[in-house]
Amino acid sequence: MRLALDEADRAGRAGDVPVGAVVLSPDGTTVLATGHNEREATGDPTAHAEILALRRAAAALGEWRLVGCTLVVTLEPCTMCAGALVQSRVDRVVYGARDEKAGAAGSLWDVVRDRRLNHRPEVVEGVLADESARLLTDFFRTR
């Protein structure tokens, strides 16, 4: 999560909402890819930290299925990112701050654990939640 927080800080310094993500290999120790929000930088509405990290991890593995992998992200994934997590077959998502307005991993919706879907990753929430939330609060306080 510390690496994801570093990524989030990079996004904030670049003028994007400070969210950072890391994809870990199945061994849980090797970083396959990182990402941070780049919507403002690229003008791409899909350039969320999670999407970018998943794309980069798939490229690193040469495989779209990220079976056994863990995505660590500073903010609870939105519906788009939750859908991508399901589609990419990650085994686990670990997130920091809850997103009561748009979260789709247990707060507002629970897309990742919907029993109607073919894949449901494990969800671990609240890891370094205060630090993750503080980055967001500080960012929006200056807006």
Please indicate whether residue 50 is annotated as part of the active site.
Answer: yes
Phi and psi angles of residue 75, each rounded to the nearest 5 degrees, phi first: -130, 140
CB 74, CB 8: distance < 8 Å: yes
Q: What is the mean pLDDT of the chain?
A: 97
23-33: pLDDT as tens digits: 999 999 999 99
Q: Can you say whether the dihedral through the CA atoms of 105, 111, 113, 119 is positive or negative?
A: negative
**What is the Cβ-side half-sphere exposure of residue 42, based on CA atoms within 13 angstroms?**
12
Question: Does 69 appear as a known binding residue?
Answer: no
Catalytic residue among 7, 38, 40, 50: 50
Classified as helix, coil or strand, 31 is: strand
pLDDT above 90 for 143: no
- pLDDT by residue (tens digit) across 94-121? 999 999 999 999 999 999 999 999 999 9
Task: Determine whether the annotation assigns residue 36 to a binding site.
Answer: no
Q: Is 81 annotated as a binding residue?
A: yes
Burial class (CB in 10 A: 0-12, 13-18, 19+), 109: middle
**Which residue stretches of 1-143 are H helix?**
2-13, 39-42, 49-61, 79-88, 129-141
**Could you tell me if 110 and 80 are in contact, meaning their C-beta atoms sit under 8 angstroms apart?**
no
